[in-house]
Amino acid sequence: MRAAFEAHCPGADSGQPAQPSEYDQLVRVDVETEIVIERPREQVAAYAGDPDNVTAWYENIQAVQWESPKPLAVGSQIAFVAQFLRRRLEYTYEIRELVPGERLVMSTADGAFPMETTYVWDDAGAGATTMRLRNRGEPSGFTSMAAPILSAAMRRANRKDLARLKSILESSSSD
């Protein structure tokens, strides 16, 4: 499964030296979490990759607003309002890459913490899916000194969010 993620995410640790991109050289927060969900990959990807569902499974996201027309496509922009570490965050993600059922990459350059979020979905046996969630970014200003604390908090939040997603999808009766 790790090999599949590395194939989807150039520069992931594959045992070979990677050529770091300019973005990689600046990144101070890089958090990757994963979970196996007992639902088909297409179902997991369709639900998790739909911005209209994120308030159901991301605890910290309070609101979502489409800034461009539906459906989701490369270039789509979606505004989010979140609460993280007792701070209200407002940011707009732009979809950078979309391979339905396999991979979604979105990023934002605004705010004190520019972020790139990647979802990767792989088959994990009969009717199951491994979902990987990766957040990476470069905090600026005061928050840059807190990168290790941000990473730990983000990892905890992501694990809870993926567990919530798993619970929602596995308790649904539709296949």
Cβ partners under 8 Å of residue 165, min gap 6:
35, 37, 44, 47, 48, 57, 131
**Pair 42, 139: CB distance under 8 Å:** no
Cβ partners under 8 Å of residue 14, min gap 6:
3, 6
Overall pTM > 0.85: no
CA 42/CA 175 separation, integer angstroms: 10
* Sequential pLDDT tens for the chain (175 residues): 444 434 444 444 444 444 444 444 444 789 999 999 999 999 999 999 999 999 999 999 999 999 999 999 999 999 999 887 778 888 899 999 999 999 999 999 776 678 899 999 999 999 999 999 999 987 665 455 566 777 888 899 999 999 999 999 999 755 4
Architecture of domain 2-8+24-171: 2-Layer Sandwich (3.30)
**Pair 122, 130: CB distance under 8 Å:** yes
Neighbours of 50 (CB within 10 A): 15
Q: Where are the domains of the chain?
A: 2-8+24-171
- Residue 88 tokens read as 């209200």
